[in-house]
């Protein structure tokens, strides 16, 4: 259940990767009438479980996913502040090439903390949140070296963090809660240690003023902004048909305000919104190129182009 910041990386190596500030300008020119054109669709050659976040570094991809072993069950009424039990599962971070071949993988989390969320790349490390699979729970934040796939625990949070973004300009770390209803901001020192980890969470968060879509995956996009993709499950009450509408938001990290919002009118053949799960966007010669992994298990990496300014 988690959400999207868009870091733009066009270099082929980690060392030379840089954010492209023109991504926001191009995304901000998109409208409901913008035409998305499929460029390719590549089946992943490994079980993707339930994808959450996607990062592209050169021609290599990193996908966070949760393997659900026992689904959570809702309680008739809240128990201990929770609306459901914790279920069971395993958190994964996969590394694969453009042809869908798995190169390596690691597991992340511990005990009931097994649900990775949306991920970000800051030019040196991939940031991965892993949480309990229920709102208002607990999370562990990891920093992962994309070359060695070594994970280092950075922070524990008494809430479900469903996506992370690293502001490359001031070094701050931003978290998005379950359903993206709350935003968190942590400060880091030169060694990458969180300096305000002991502060009351109420002081570190602000409410998301937008209710258009729930963010699933987020990336940093330069200028203290992030790009998030996600969806709204629009259901006609009480038990009518539903429509899953995908969307894309450009968000100001300084106050959480959406700067530009646009629906993404793309669905899989099975009816899933293309922005349902993991996503990555970057500038291209034609405008913006996007990679999506919306499906569970036997998943496909979809690539789309859309014209920008």
Q: How many CA atoms lie within 13 A of 230 on its CB side?
A: 33
13 in a structural domain: no
Task: Confirm whether 94 is domain-assigned.
Answer: yes
> In this model, does residue 25 exceed pLDDT 90?
yes
1 within some domain: no
Asked whether residue 98 is assigned to any structural domain, the reply reads yes
Residue 70 belongs to a domain: yes
Indicate whether 4 belongs to any domain: no
For the chain, give the mean pLDDT.
91
In a domain, 53, yes or no: yes
pLDDT in tens, 151-182: 999 999 999 999 999 999 999 999 999 999 99
Contact 1, 278 (CB under 8 A): no
How many structural domains are present in the chain? Answer: 1
Mean pLDDT of 116-133: 98
Domain interval for residue 41: 22-307
Give the range among 9-18, 85-94, 102-111 with minimum mean pLDDT.
9-18
- Residue 181 and residue 136: Cα distance in Å, rounded? 11
Question: Does residue 6 fall inside a structural domain?
Answer: no
Give the separation between CA 105 and CA 85, rounded to whole angstroms: 28
**Which pLDDT tens digit goes with each residue over 176-229?**
999 999 999 999 998 889 999 999 999 999 999 999 999 999 999 999 999 999
Question: Quick one: pLDDT at residue 21?
Answer: 54
Span 30-56, average pLDDT: 97
pTM of the model: 0.91
Answer whether residue 15 shows pLDDT above 60: no
Task: Please state, as a whole number, how many other Cβ atoms lie within 10 Å of the Cβ of residue 202.
Answer: 6
Residue 204's CATH number:
2.115.10
Return the pLDDT at 236: 80
Sort residue 301 into left (φ over 0), alpha (ψ -120 to 50) or beta: beta
- Rounded Cα distance between 164 and 52, Å, is 11
């Amino acid at each position: 259940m988690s959400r999207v910041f868009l870091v733009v990386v066009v270099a082929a190596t980690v060392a030379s990767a840089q954010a492209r500030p023109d991504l926001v300008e191009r995304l901000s020119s998109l409208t409901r009438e913008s035409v998305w054109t499929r460029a390719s669709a590549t089946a992943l050659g490994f079980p993707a479980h339930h994808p959450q976040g996607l990062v592209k570094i050169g021609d290599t991809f990193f996908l966070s996913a949760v393997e659900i072993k026992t689904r959570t069950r809702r309680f008739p009424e809240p128990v201990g502040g929770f609306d459901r039990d914790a279920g069971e599962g395993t958190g994964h971070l996969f590394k694969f090439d453009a042809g869908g071949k798995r190169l390596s993988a690691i597991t992340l989390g511990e005990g009931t903390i097994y649900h990775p969320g949306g991920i970000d790349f800051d030019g040196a490390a991939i940031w991965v949140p892993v949480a309990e699979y229920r709102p208002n729970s607990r999370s562990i934040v990891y920093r992962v070296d994309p070359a060695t796939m070594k994970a280092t625990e950075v922070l524990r949070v008494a809430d479900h963090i469903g996506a992370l973004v690293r502001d490359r300009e001031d070094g701050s770390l931003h978290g998005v809660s379950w359903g993206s209803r709350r935003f968190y901001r942590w400060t880091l020192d030169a060694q990458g240690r969180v300096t305000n980890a002991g502060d009351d969470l109420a002081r570190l968060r602000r409410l998301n003023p937008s209710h258009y879509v729930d963010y699933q995956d987020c990336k940093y996009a330069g200028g203290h902004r992030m790009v998030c993709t996600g969806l709204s499950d629009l259901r006609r009450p009480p038990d009518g048909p539903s429509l899953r509408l995908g969307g894309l938001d450009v968000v100001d990290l300084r106050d959480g305000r959406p700067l530009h919002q646009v629906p993404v009118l793309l669905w899989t053949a099975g009816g899933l919104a293309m922005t349902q799960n993991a996503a990555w966007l970057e500038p291209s010669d034609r405008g913006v190129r996007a990679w999506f992994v919306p499906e569970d298990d036997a998943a496909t990496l979809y690539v789309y182009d859309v014209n920008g300014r």
